[in-house]
Amino acid sequence: MIDTSKVLISRDELSKMVDDVASKINEAYNGEELIVVGILTGAFVFISDLVRKLDMPVTIDFMQVSSYEGENSTGVLKVKKDLSTDITGKNVLIVEDIIDTGYTLQCLKNMLGKNNPKSLKICAAFDKPDRRVNDLKPDFKGLVIPDEFVVGYGLDYNGMYRNLPDVCVVKFVED
């Protein structure tokens, strides 16, 4: 059985986190047009909160990639949905839910970089730096979290719990 009763980050803290990240992004782009690339499915809650706080002209596109099954990365990045927008010469901000090993975003950065965007930056709601296998650093990040598996605010365990309004720790308990 799975217990998700332990709240790690409350909805109020999440709301403040979004405000902080949005104001840093607004400051960095200084009114320049931006293409926000949301990584499905986990980033859908964060991105919907975040884009409503951005003050430059914004277009939004999504990609879906996967390297995970259950709790573990399979080490192979599959593109399930590609961009619909031409990003050549544009400011691009990849928005992800969480950076764990850093593998997903490193692969994505390399892939999108080949299309010669004007700029290519990364924003993540959560960061687990203890788990990193490369030197990937987000340009904008919400909150650093410990090495624990969390769900809620878009994050899932096997597709479940994305709808939880707080970020909660997953505890596996015997039935």
Residues numbered 56-75 forming contacts with ligand IMP, rule: CB under 6 A:
67-68, 73
State the binding partner of 68 from ligand IMP, Mg ion, none, CB within 5 to 8 A by kind.
ligand IMP
| Closer by beta carbon to ligand IMP, 10 or else 116 | 10
Chain residues in the site for Mg ion (CB under 5 A): 42
Does 98 help bind ligand IMP (rule: CB under 6 A)? yes
Contact 81, 61 (CB under 8 A): no
With CB atoms as reference, the residue minimizing the distance to Mg ion is: 42
Determine the residue type at 108.
L
Does 104 help bind ligand IMP (rule: CB under 6 A)? yes
Does 49 help bind ligand IMP (rule: CB under 6 A)? no
| Closer by beta carbon to ligand IMP, 92 or else 125 | 125
Q: What is the total count of residues that contact ligand IMP (CB under 6 A)?
A: 18
Span of 20-28, 55-63, 81-89, 94-102 interacting with ligand IMP by CB under 6 A: 94-102
